Copies of this chain bind each other. A is one copy, B any other.
Amino acid sequence: MRKIELVQNILEANESIAAQNKRLLDEHGVFAINIMASPGAGKTSLILQTMARLKGKLRIGVIEGDVASTLDAEKVKNEAVGVVQINTRNMPESCSLIASMLDAALKKLPLEDIDLLLIENVGNLICPSEFVLGEHKRVVVSSLPEGDDKPIKYPMIFADADAVVINKADLLPYVDFDIAVFRRAIEGLHSKVKLFELSCKTGAGIENWCAWVLKEVEANAYKSASLNISLEGGGIR
């Protein structure tokens, strides 16, 4: 009982910090996407493809969450307006980014120069489902080699997602994966989720994903501008 109460307190504290993060992001006209997935599903590849396609349209910042190493931050640093690597290995939560980690990372980024912030969460389909960060959208990347049963086996993270990206579509001839089975499982959890089937390796399907991201950023910028007529600079170029 005490353990459950403590977990409850941690989650409430996290939500309160997440709400502060969201306010800070909105004040600076930054739209944030929390990208969650299994290890190796292709979060970093999706970020690289998204930056390549939306270059000149959006100014993009990146936060890289990993247990250890700076491999991913190094991959994205040339294209991003700003990059912060968070290593969770010695933090109280090592299995997910939490709102206080985002709070610390936001202080290191030039928020006034960023339209879109891509937050790569730690590779894990369980813990990140428990922690909101202050993001505007939650996206899960799933990949064909992982199998079409993942939404049934990890329902919490898929149920809360605004969009699901099915990556590594180029491997369809070589793995046992039935897109219809995956789609039915997702829709059974959450009928309004956006589903994108693509390959970060070949680039097939990336344009639909990027069109959705751009539309969401623009809709949020319009909303922020309406709410805050003193907003200057930042926003969409």
Contact = CB atoms under 8 A, between A and B. Distances in A.
A175 B7 CA distance: 40
A122 to B, nearest CB: 7
Contact of A4 (B68, B92, B153): B92
Number of this chain's copies in the complex: 2
A126 B168 CA distance: 23
Interface in A133-156: 143, 145-147, 149-150, 152-156
A69 to B, nearest CB: 5
Contacts of A100: none
Nearest to A147: B40
A3 B92 contact: yes
B123 A7 contact: no
B92 A154 contact: no
Contacts of A143: 40, 145
Interface in A71-98: 71, 89, 92, 94-95
A38 interface: yes
Contact of A145 (B4, B94, B127, B171): B171
Interface in A144-189: 145-147, 149-150, 152-156, 168, 170-171, 174-175
A199 B9 CA distance: 45
Contacts of A66: 153
A24 interface: no
Given A145-B171, A171-B175, A175-B171, A150 B92 contact: no
Nearest to A125: B39
Interface of A: 3-4, 6-7, 38-40, 66-69, 71, 89, 92, 94-95, 122-127, 143, 145-147, 149-150, 152-156, 168, 170-171, 174-175
Given A39-B146, A127-B127, 18 more contacts: A4-B92, A38-B38, A38-B39, A39-B150, A39-B153, A40-B146, A66-B153, A67-B126, A67-B153, A67-B156, A69-B152, A71-B152, A89-B155, A95-B127, A122-B126, A124-B125, A124-B127, A145-B145
